[in-house]
Copies of this chain bind each other. A is one copy, B any other.
Amino acid sequence: MADRNGGTSVLDPQELAKRHPAEVAEILHELPEAEAVELLRELYKVHAAADSLEEMDPDEAAELLEGLPQREATAILSRMEPDDAVDVLEELPRDAVEEILGHLEALDREKAEVLRRLLRYPPDSAGGLMSPEYVALPADITVQEAIERLRRVAEEAETIYYVYVVDEGGRLLGVLSLRDLVFARPDTRIREIMRPEVVSLSPEMPADEVAQAFDKYGYLAFPVVDGEGRLLGIVTMDDILDTVILRDTEDMYKMANVPREERVDTPWPESLRLRLPWLYINLATAFLAASVVGAFEGVIAKISALAIFMPVVAGQGGNAGMQTVTIVTRGIALGEVPPGRGLGILAKEVLLGLLNGLAVGIVVGAVAYAWKHNPYLGLVAFLAMMGNMVIAGLVGASIPLGLRALGLDPALASSVILTTFTDTLGFFLLLGLGYLFRGVL
């Protein structure tokens, strides 16, 4: 981390260019935006801007680039790794992207085309994550020749630890590790030492499943191939680490109703603007629950003891439901819920709701009875508590499973949807039963 008191000497672009780009990225992140843009222009002059931007969050990198003259922004993007450049382009407005690609066409036609091709895939797919800078070799060259070729491309390739063997049509035939090459006899044909069984990904594969493949196999990279088996690019493990961390952040955020763009160091006016809409959504659902209470106002006025059990029934239902939501959502994210197993999970969660509801409901009922010495109050509290736990299990499992079945994100606003049900139906059960038993309470 830079010593901020060190002044200009620390932020000397010549000095910074010698440091690890990740450290420069951290400094850019810490600086106020105007100063960061200024520093980026200085870094550009010493050819250190592209490397540093690759290490930043794409949305932050995009913000900085927007502060630069188009010509410089284009030049910096053209020097970035294509997969990182595409991530940044995806954060820019559509017309800015077109303008930059237009400029880039004049500067480096091939690069512009590569970026256009990568931009066609959604960012959270194997195609969106892949880099076109892999090493592909024909099958009939020797190990010696392969090492020679590697030497020439080593600078540009994303990784040379895996080398892909392709036919004339660009179709993937096999894979070799650098380790295989180094330890093979120099005059061996690489066809003989390549491994023909390659685990490959389709460009449409969602990022989640890509992460699962890395987690399962522990490989450093996977090839991405199209329907005809042609090699399109590679996804490397370091991209996946970023992807997993971002996915998990977003899942946590979605579950807890937090705006996707916010981070702990977001300035407060921005945080205010981002959070308030979500709070208003929650407010609308809270009024729904309140309207149920309002409908039973007469019962509460007569049997005020019911109000005491409102937070217990609703709170406990919300808590049990969030257990279910969390376990099922995380299971889906980690690929542990194959399609077709949804019904089994739903049944299990409803059963758990019933059994946990019995266990918890007995305590709640006993407390209600002991407190007012009224067995009917105990019965009402018990039934409402147990009922709401069943609802919690049913709704808690249905939200992520249902969202997935609809092709939506399983984590989407799940806590708000859940508590709308557990509050509204919990109050309805408690106060409705109270109304039915009003003669004896």
Which residues of A approach B to under 8 Å, CB–CB?
Answer: 20, 22, 26, 55, 147, 150-151, 154, 160-161, 178-179, 181-183, 199, 211, 214-218, 220, 237-238, 240-242, 244-245, 248-249, 251-253, 255-258, 262-265, 268, 271-272, 275-276, 278-280, 282-283, 285-287, 289-290, 293-294, 297-298, 300-301, 304-305, 307-312, 314-316, 319-320, 322-323, 325-328, 330-332, 334, 336-337, 345, 348, 351-352, 355-356, 359-360, 363-364, 367, 371, 415-416, 419, 423, 427
Contact = CB atoms under 8 A, between A and B. Distances in A.
B297 A308 contact: yes
Contacts of A360: 276, 279-280, 283
A251 B249 contact: no
A275 B352 contact: yes
Contacts of A20: 199, 217
Contact of A427 (B220, B237, B311): B311
A284 to B, nearest CB: 10
- Nearest 4 CB-CB pairings of A with B: A264-B331, A248-B248, A301-B304, A256-B326
The CB with the most chain B CB atoms within 10 A, among A220, A272, A290, A359, is that of A290
B290 A308 contact: yes
Contacts of A199: 20
Contacts of A308: 290, 293-294, 297
B307 A416 contact: no
A215 B237 CA distance: 11
B334 A249 contact: yes
A311 B286 contact: yes
A381 to B, nearest CB: 10
Contacts of A331: 263-265
B304 A290 contact: no
A355 B252 contact: no
A315 B419 contact: yes
B268 A352 contact: yes
B147 A257 contact: no
7 contacts: A220-B238, A237-B237, A245-B334, A265-B336, A283-B316, A286-B311, A322-B415
Contact of A154 (B183, B245, B328): B183
Given A251-B252, A264-B330, 6 more contacts: A181-B182, A249-B334, A268-B352, A272-B352, A275-B323, A294-B371
B336 A264 contact: yes
Contacts of A282: 315-316, 319
A121 to B, nearest CB: 22
